[in-house]
Amino acid sequence: MSEINQYVGSQIKMYRKACKMTLQQLADLIHKSRATVSKYENGEISIDIETLYEISQALEVNINQLTNYRPPMEQSEMAALTPAGKGAFFAAERLYFYFYEGRHQRLKEGIIDINKSSEHPGDYDATFVINAGTPNGRSSSVYYTGKVIYSDMLIRFSFVNQYNALEEDLLYIFNPLEKRDFTEGLLCGISSTDLMPCAFKCLVTLAPQELDDELLKHLILTKEEFQRWKKLNMFIVDNHSHI
């Protein structure tokens, strides 16, 4: 069982569940048996390109969202890919995202995958998946696609909810030039609960983080931040050099 097969299978399963589609329904759409689709999702068998295309059409996703597998990258390899004078976040193809939602008192995590645009050379596309447990203990995911713009100090992501075009989010993160594997940012969008405009302080990292109290402490708004926001009458985040 190859890592690529497992990855593609897990992506198919993730997007199928996001569509609230059963194994049998997907099997019927691509004219395969339920058992075969189950083997696809478990990574037990490889999928030919024609079937992959049919699956992407059935799930209403780009085929790249099913196949954008990236093997883990060592820090030395990341450093070699980073252009001179640019931070590691400039070269990153995958970022890990975290924020705390106080309404339901839970940490949320996500993954941002970045690819060079196939249609517009020099531009970058991105996919964004936010995962979170629901109050009843079930897991849920929200899927976005969008664009990335780089500058010396900031990186801007613009995302649209793949299943609700009304929801468009902006994520601004600092592009730290010093050597570190995390950066702060601000996620601005619409609350999915009541469709009200909102903003969240967030942490974006080069490697996965433990969802522990230390991470939670970093994401919860501090008294000093509240005082500063009140004085300036606007929401801002700082580019801290340590967690």
- pLDDT, one tens digit per residue, over 135-182 is 444 556 788 889 999 988 889 999 998 877 788 899 999 888 777 889
**Predicted local confidence at residue 243, as pLDDT:** 57
d(CA 91, CA 243): 22
Listed by start position, the domains of the chain span 3-67, 75-232
Per DSSP, the three-state class of 98 is strand
pLDDT number for residue 75: 47
pLDDT, residue 97, reads 94
> Are 3-67 and 75-232 in the same CATH fold?
no
Q: In this predicted structure, what is the pLDDT of residue 170?
A: 94
Contact (CB, 8 A) for 106 and 133:
yes
3-67 is a CATH 3.40.50.970 domain: no
Give the per-residue pLDDT at 171: 94
Reported as type and span, the H/E element at residue 34 is helix 34-41
Cβ-based neighbours of 195, under 8 Å, separated by 6 or more:
166
The CATH classification number of 75-232 equals 2.40.128.120
Handedness of CA 17, 104, 222, 228 (dihedral sign): positive
- Reading the chain (243 residues) residue by residue, the pLDDT tens digits are 588 899 899 889 888 887 788 999 999 999 999 999 999 999 999 999 999 999 998 988 878 778 877 665 554 444 444 444 567 888 888 899 999 988 878 888 889 989 888 777 788 999 898 875 544 445 567 888 899 999 888 899 999 988 777 888 999 998 887 778 899 999 998 876 677 888 999 999 998 888 888 899 889 988 988 899 889 998 888 776 555
The pLDDT of residue 88: 81
Mean per-residue pLDDT over the chain, rounded? 83
Do 48 and 17 meet the contact criterion of CB atoms below 8 Å apart? no
Give the CB-side neighbour count of residue 11, counting CA atoms within 13 A.
26
Q: What is the pLDDT of residue 157?
A: 96
